[in-house]
Amino acid sequence: DKLRAPQATLFASLAQGFFGDGHLPWNMVAIGAGIGVAIITLDILLARAGSTFRAHIMPVAVGIYLPFSLSVPIFIGGIIRAVVSRTSDDASDKGVLFGSGMIAGEALMGIGLAVALTISEVYGLETITLPGNAIISLALFAVCISGFALAARKQPPA
């Protein structure tokens, strides 16, 4: 319960449905497929019309099967990209590389936390709670957002 893994749970239930008991909510699969086809069709129509707005399917797909708390960073990343693209002529895709590194770092941090929680449970250790956890989290979040904005620029600000 301490280490939730929504992606692993989703894929485990799919594997169990395909190769195990065969029970899979096919109505939900069909609804998801329909939403996917509709978004891809909308994106094609927007591209043909020459619109600068695009309907990307991946954020929607992630938003459907992951909790809201994990979808928020995708939304914030889109806002950062839009702001940097409009305020700077030299916007680039280096933010994607930075974001990939952040995702890899988050995965490694998750493994580290899993090891620490397992050790604490095996040896009966208490977890440490810092005062002001919310303030520390918000400060680190602001640092990450600033890093994304800076990484998205071709040249560092003077």
Q: What is the pLDDT of residue 82?
A: 77
Q: Distance between CA 149 and CA 90 in Å, rounded?
A: 12
pTM of the shown model: 0.51
Distance of alpha carbon 85 from alpha carbon 61, whole angstroms: 24
**pLDDT tens series, the chain, 158 aa:** 566 666 677 777 778 887 877 777 788 889 989 999 999 999 999 999 999 888 888 878 777 777 776 677 777 777 877 777 777 655 556 666 777 777 788 778 888 888 888 888 888 887 777 777 788 888 988 898 888 777 776 555 55
Indicate the angle between helix axes 57-65 and 68-87, nearest 10 degrees.
Answer: 160
